[in-house]
């Protein structure tokens, strides 16, 4: 039995019901970072995607198999609900039961918490908007082009397209992270609000590099989830050019099962695997330049890669694939006082290498400078990166989100936001 719930402590506070695309303890992405920042505006009931008793361990929110829904407290403003579903929850015939079961279990959690939501936010499409009360706002938060990512997620594009149309019809407010997704959904007759992904900015005296990383400079960094979104040809070309490479983050086992092991076996390449989110700043301090080597795909063109701004927030210049999100940032960079070297865009592997060499010079001169105690990435360029990133923090994004849905300020006290992995 639950005792008095933390959400009941502020009876007049507003509450968001948040149907997340990933489990709270899964890979930390847009969902969790926006929720953390929005916690200064509202209490949030976070709802994990449902799992069944036969779901593989990597998809379950807890190690043990879960037969009943559960409620846990994340902190005094965020509470988590972990619902359950029938086995085969995404299969035709069964998947239509998944959203109704999530709704029933979420209503149970709302009754337990004794709250009524101001708004319902869904970052997934499967029938969760609408039906929560005439005065409850329904918000569709498009963090990706779900239909374009159907193959990546192993789902039917026809089914995703159908539930996308339903979600757009039921949404009172539509928020998207990229101009590409904004244009796509606007063609369906809605008026999306563009709120790109954000970042957290670290101080100039960030954590020292971890002791388990020993690479000859210059060190190029790739931080984040490794999946089919990544263009391995770009990475190979960077290593061929003589740059050291630090790769940090979990890997989808199906991505490049032959070529990736060959890559990380090469001299000058260090792969850490997944690391605790709180250690990511130290790994970022070990690199000289960050890269966003995404493939040119419909799904990637509609995305807004988190890693690009995270590098900048750590004071590291970036070379990114030629994505609309990168061009959007470049346009904003032109309106700022920061150096144009903060963000470079490359259209192919050769251009990636050229852009990196413009930033750090050739390997010999760079290593010579390091031996003298100098740095090729100047303190001014690092400061420019951070100053530009300050224009795109999660706090600013949360402020825009709260305005878009008509949510008032709950508290001005900071909640100790940190950089995720």
Domains observed in the chain: 6-198+394-405 (3.40.50.2000), 219-392 (3.40.50.2000)
If we measure between CA atoms, which residue out of 37, 14, 84 comes closest to residue 419? 37
Would strands 70-75 and 78-82 be described as parallel, antiparallel, or unpaired?
A: antiparallel
- Joined tokens for residue 262: 């060959």
Q: Say if residues 7 and 45 touch (Cβ distance below 8 Å).
A: yes
Least confident of 44-53, 88-97, 175-184, 411-420: 411-420
Q: What is the pLDDT of residues 230-288, one digit of tens each?
A: 999 999 999 999 999 999 999 999 999 999 999 999 999 999 999 998 899 999 999 99
> What sign for the dihedral angle of Cα 155, 159, 162, 163?
negative
Q: What is the pLDDT of residues 135-146, one digit of tens each?
A: 999 999 999 999
CA 388, CA 333: separation in Å to the nearest integer? 7
Q: What is the pLDDT of residues 202-238, one digit of tens each?
A: 876 667 778 888 899 999 999 999 999 999 999 999 9
The residue count of the chain comes to: 421
List phi, psi (to 5°) of 283: -70, -35
Question: Could you give the dihedral angle defined by the CA atoms of residues 295, 297, 303 and 308, in that order, rounded to the nearest 10 degrees?
Answer: 20
Portion of the chain with pLDDT greater than 70, in percent: 84
Q: What is the pLDDT of residues 308-364, one digit of tens each?
A: 999 999 999 999 999 999 999 999 999 998 889 999 999 999 999 999 999 997 554
């Amino acid at each position: 039995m639950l005792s008095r719930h933390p959400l009941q402590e502020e009876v007049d506070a507003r509450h968001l019901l948040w149907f997340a695309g990933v489990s709270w303890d899964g890979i930390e992405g847009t969902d969790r970072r926006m929720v953390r920042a929005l916690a200064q505006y509202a209490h949030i009931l976070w709802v994990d995607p449902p799992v069944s008793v036969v779901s593989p361990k990597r998809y379950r929110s807890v190690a043990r198999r879960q037969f009943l829904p559960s409620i846990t407290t994340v902190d005094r403003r965020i509470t988590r609900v972990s619902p359950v579903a029938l086995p085969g929850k995404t299969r035709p015939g069964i998947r239509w039961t998944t959203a109704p079961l999530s709704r029933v279990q979420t209503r149970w959690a709302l009754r337990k918490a004794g709250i009524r939501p101001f708004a319902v936010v869904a970052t997934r499409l499967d029938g969760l908007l609408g039906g929560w009360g005439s005065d409850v706002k329904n918000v569709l938060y498009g963090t990706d082009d779900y239909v374009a990512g159907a193959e990546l997620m192993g789902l039917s594009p026809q089914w995703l397209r159908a539930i996308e149309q339903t979600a757009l019809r039921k949404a009172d407010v539509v928020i998207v992270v990229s101009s590409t997704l904004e244009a796509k959904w606007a063609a369906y007759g809605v008026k999306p609000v563009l709120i790109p992904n954000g970042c957290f900015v670290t101080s100039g005296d960030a954590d020292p590099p971890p002791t388990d990383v020993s690479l000859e400079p210059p060190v190029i960094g790739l931080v984040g989830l490794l999946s089919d979104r990544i263009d391995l040809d770009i990475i190979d070309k960077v290593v061929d050019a003589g740059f050291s490479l630090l790769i940090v983050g979990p890997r989808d086992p199906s991505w490049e099962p032959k070529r990736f092991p060959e890559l990380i076996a090469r001299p000058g390449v260090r792969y850490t695997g997944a690391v605790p989110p709180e250690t990511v700043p130290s790994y970022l301090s070990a690199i000289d330049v960050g890269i966003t080597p995404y493939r040119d795909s419909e799904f990637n063109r509609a995305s807004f890669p988190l890693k690009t701004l995270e590098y900048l927030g750590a004071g590291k210049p970036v070379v990114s694939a030629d994505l609309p999100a990168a061009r959007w940032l470049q346009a904003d960079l032109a309106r700022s006082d920061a150096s144009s070297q903060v963000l470079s865009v490359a259209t192919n592997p050769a251009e990636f290498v050229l852009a990196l060499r413009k930033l750090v010079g050739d390997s010999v001169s760079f290593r010579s400078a390091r031996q003298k105690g100098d740095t090729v990435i100047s303190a001014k360029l690092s400061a420019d990166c951070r100053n530009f990133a300050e224009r795109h923090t999660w706090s600013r994004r949360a402020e825009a989100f709260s305005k878009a849905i008509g949510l008032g300020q709950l508290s001005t006290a900071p909640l100790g936001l940190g950089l995720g992995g």
